[in-house]
Amino acid sequence: MDIALGPEDGVAAIEVVLARLPQARVLVLTMFHDPETVRQCLLAGATGFVVKGANSSDLIDAIRAVNRGEHYIHSSIAGPVIEDSLRWLRDGASLSRREHEVMSLLGGGRTPARIGEMLGISVHTVRRHLASATVKVGVQGSEGLASYAREHGFARAVEPVRVAQGRA
């Protein structure tokens, strides 16, 4: 499928297709080739990604790989996707589990007060985790951290772990 669907969101369409047909495999064929678009498609459940203009033999290879249940990323974008993924892993690897969780919830649109309620911790503790995460990923402020979380795939549905009041 192509993800350029006019006013519709092609990434969301991948999720809809797979929700209705979980056994389906989605191969994206599109003109978009930036690592963020590839990441969003893969997170939505796409199994392969090919850029328009690829050789027909590459497209056939992609179809065969996806049909076998393998992932496929076209060679013209594999390098930037790998570099972006490594940077994301490095940035995310330095975060504690709780910092990652708080950052994910912030990127998902929750306020520090709501995050505290969800996790059973004080808003002060939430802000401490957010401050630590901003230093580790090199951004400034909650807005910057929320943007970073969305841009780097941290902002997705997470199941928070409740802890006893007063524990971080």
Q: Which of 11-15, 25-29, 121-125, 136-140 shows the lowest mean pLDDT across its residues?
A: 136-140
- What pLDDT is attached to residue 160? 44
pLDDT bucket at 61, cuts 50 / 70 / 90: very high
> Bridge-partner residues for 38, per DSSP?
none
| Stated pTM of the model | 0.55
8 A C-beta contact, residue 106 and residue 149: yes
85-131 pLDDT, tens digit each: 777 666 655 788 888 889 889 988 899 999 999 999 988 899 989 98
Q: Can you give the residue ranges of every domain in the chain?
A: 4-80, 89-151
Q: Which long-range contacts (CB under 8 A, 24 or more apart) does 9-17 make?
A: 10/41, 11/40, 11/41, 11/44, 12/44, 14/41, 14/44, 14/45, 14/46, 15/44, 15/45
pLDDT score of 28 more than 80: yes
**Between 145 and 159, residue with greater pLDDT:** 145
| Class of the CATH-defined domain 89-151 | mainly alpha
What would the CATH number be for the domain defined by 4-80? Answer: 3.40.50.2300
Q: Which two tokens stand for residue 50?
A: 């090919």
